[in-house]
Amino acid sequence: MKIGTPKEIFEGEARVAMTPDSALQLQKLGHECLIEAGAGAAAGFADEAYAAAGVTVVEGAEALWAQADIIAKVRPPSDEEAVRLTESKLLISFFWPASNEALMQLAADQGASVIAMDMVPRISRAQKMDALSSMANIAGYRAVIEAGNNFGRFFTGQVTAAGKVPPAKVLVVGAGVAGLAAIGTSTSLGAVTYAFDVRPEVAEQVESMGAQFVYLDFAEEQQDGAATGGYAAPSSPEFRAAQLAKFRELAPEMDIVITTALIPNREAPELWTEDMVKAMKPGSVIVDLAAERGGNCKLTVKDEKIVTDNGVTIVGYTDFPSRMAAQSSTLYATNIRHMMTDLTPAKDGVVNHNMEDDVIRGATIAHGKAVTFPPPPPKTK
Smallest gap, in angstroms, from Cβ of residue 57 to ligand NAD? Answer: 35
Instruction: Decide: is 358 part of the binding site for ligand NAD (CB under 6 A).
Output: no
Give the residue with the Cβ less far from ligand NAD, 165 or 219.
219
Residues in region 264-283 near ligand NAD by CB under 6 A: 264, 269, 271
Catalytic residue among 21, 105, 122, 240: 122
Instruction: Decide: is 206 part of the binding site for ligand NAD (CB under 6 A).
Output: no
Give the residue with the Cβ less far from ligand NAD, 278 or 293.
293
- Answer for which of 67, 78, 127, 380 binds ligand NAD (CB under 6 A) is 127
Catalytic residue among 67, 78, 109, 127: 127
Instruction: Decide: is 198 part of the binding site for ligand NAD (CB under 6 A).
Output: yes
Catalytic residue among 22, 25, 93, 133: 133
Residues in region 222-261 near ligand NAD by CB under 6 A: 225, 230-232, 235, 260-261
Instruction: Decide: is 15 part of the binding site for ligand NAD (CB under 6 A).
Output: no
Task: Give Rg (Cα) of the chain.
Answer: 22
CA distance 332 to 73: 10
Show the 3-state SS of 20-78.
HHHHHHHHHCCCEEEEECCCCHHHCCCHHHHHHCCCEEECCHHHHHHHCCEEECCCCCC
CA distance 263 to 224: 13
CA distance 298 to 285: 14
Residue 193: name the closest of 164, 168, 157 by CA.
168
Instruction: Decide: is 295 part of the binding site for ligand NAD (CB under 6 A).
Output: no
CA distance 188 to 183: 8
Peptide bond into 374 cis (omega under 30): yes
Active site residue 284: no
Catalytic residue among 22, 25, 84, 130: 130
Report the residue closest to ligand NAD, judged by CB: 176
Instruction: Decide: is 174 part of the binding site for ligand NAD (CB under 6 A).
Output: yes
Pairing of strands 169-173, 113-116: unpaired
The phi and psi torsions of 47 (rounded to 5 degrees) equal: -55, -40
Burial class from Cβ neighbours inside 10 Å (0-12, 13-18, 19+) for residue 267 reads exposed
Burial class from Cβ neighbours inside 10 Å (0-12, 13-18, 19+) for residue 200 reads middle
Any long-range contacts for 202-207 (C-beta under 8 Å, 24+ apart)?
202/175, 202/176, 205/175, 205/180, 206/175, 206/180
Q: Which of the 8 DSSP states describes residue 91?
A: E
Give the residue with the Cβ less far from ligand NAD, 20 or 176.
176
Instruction: Decide: is 130 part of the binding site for ligand NAD (CB under 6 A).
Output: yes
Give the residue with the Cβ less far from ligand NAD, 124 or 160.
124
Catalytic residue among 75, 231, 240, 293: 231
Active site residue 124: no
- Answer for which of 88, 124, 228, 265 binds ligand NAD (CB under 6 A) is 124
Residues in region 302-341 near ligand NAD by CB under 6 A: none
Give the residue with the Cβ less far from ligand NAD, 5 or 296.
296
Active site residue 130: yes
Active site residue 231: yes
Give the residue with the Cβ less far from ligand NAD, 1 or 244.
244
Calculate helix-pair angle for 325-343, 131-150, nearest 10 degrees: 170
Instruction: Decide: is 131 part of the binding site for ligand NAD (CB under 6 A).
Output: no
What are the distances in angstroms from CA 315 to CA 89, 176, 205, 249? 40, 20, 26, 22
CA distance 212 to 166: 17
Active site residue 133: yes
Give the residue with the Cβ less far from ligand NAD, 18 or 261.
261
Instruction: Decide: is 84 part of the binding site for ligand NAD (CB under 6 A).
Output: no
Q: Which residues are catalytic?
A: 122, 127, 130, 133, 231
Residues engaged in binding ligand NAD (CB under 6 A):
122-124, 127, 130, 133, 136, 173-179, 196-199, 225, 230-232, 235, 260-264, 269, 271
